[in-house]
Structure 1
Amino acid sequence: MPLSSPTEREPLHRRSIDLRGYRRADGLFDVEAHLTDTKALPFNTHDRGTIPPGEPLHDMWLRLTVDRDLLITACEASTDASPYRMCPEVTPNYARLAGVRIGAGFRRAVAERLGGAEGCTHLRELLAQMATVAFQTLAGERRAAAAEDPEARARQRRSMLNSCYAYAPDSPVSLRRWPELAEAAAQGAAEGSSSREN
């Protein structure tokens, strides 16, 4: 077990999220998410009455279809279980994400189209994770494109540099992946030392 042993406790709530990426026959890519919430004890709701332990309080699906540039061409949502009967009524709003690109500004674009009462909290939360899975799904495609196209390589570097600890500009991972960073840093250091000598 990767975490330390916990204090004695009893289970109350479980959220399960399954995220998967697919290559489609038409050249596009699907990223799908399935979220379920269950309780370990009976849970009372106004619309559904008592939900027994293990029966989903939330059972929700979301699919993003994207192209190679991470442009969303379609989005579909489905709510099979929710605490209120009206919850599934909001799922058609998720089609508003068509035309949004996953990348810088994605969360803002989601908030503009699906913020507050225009969307569902749980489905909105899934979108950030789905964006990461979209990057992972297309990683091989994007790496192959970057190998062939210097501008694609530069875009990839810009999008990843400083995005996490491993991709700090001076980390061994970044310097190995983008040797031009090491060359630029060495050149900058050499120019700095020569200007100090003068």
Structure 2
Amino acid sequence: MFSDSFHEIALNMSLNDEGMVTACRGNFLRAPDPVCFENTASLPVLEGTFLGNTSKKLIAEGIGGPTGCDQLVDMVYALAKAFREALNPA
């Protein structure tokens, strides 16, 4: 679980052993713009995605596109980077 205190975002994502997203849900408790609240509804679109192979651009396209919340995209991408680093430690 990742948390952003400024926006008060909770992101819950489950992955299988290969890194495929099996569940993805989120919740905004506080956000600076109403559009942010709408973007959590598109998080399940990421289910079936292999997080280790996903670019930030593809994440952004999946969860809101040009009207999406950048902070939500950043949180999902940070999780993807952490997963890749866990698989391939330096």
Q: Is the shorter-chain TM-score for this pair beyond 0.5, marking a shared fold?
A: yes
Cα 1:103–1:78 change in 2 (3 A) is same
* Corresponding residue to 1:134 among 80, 83, 86: 83
Contact 2:59 2:77 in 1 (8 A): no
Unaligned runs of 5+ in 2: none
Report the secondary structure of 1:81's partner residue. coil
Match of residue 46 from structure 2? 97
State which of 28, 34, 45 in structure 1 corresponds to 2:3.
34
Higher relative contact order (CA 8 A, sep 6+): 2
Question: SS of the residue aligned with 1:94?
Answer: helix
Report the count of equivalent residues: 89
Q: Deviations over 1:154-182 (max 9, x none)?
A: xxxxxx4xxxxx95xxxxxxxxxxxxxxx
Structure 1 segments unaligned to the other structure (5+ residues): 1-31, 38-57, 143-159, 161-165, 168-198
Q: Normalization by structure 2: what TM-score?
A: 0.79
Residues 132, 62 of structure 1: alpha-carbon distance in 2 compared, 3 angstrom cutoff: same
Supply the distance in 1 between the matched residues of 2:80 and 2:35 (Cα, whole angstroms).
27
**Over 4 Å off, 4+ runs:** none
Structure of larger gyration radius? 1
| Secondary structure class of the residue paired with 1:123 | helix
Cα distance per residue 1:95-140 (max 9 Å; x no partner): 11001001234334313312221x311010111211133346xx5x
Residue in 2 aligned with 1:116?
A: 66
Rate the CA distance shift 1:135–1:93 in 2: closer, same or farther, 3 A: same
Q: CA RMSD in A?
A: 2.3
Equivalent residue in structure 2 for 1:107, among 25, 49, 56: 56
Q: Which moved more, 1:67-76 or 1:99-108?
A: 99-108
The counterpart of 1:75, out of the listed 24, 35, 51, is: 24
Distance 1:105 1:59, change over 3 A: closer
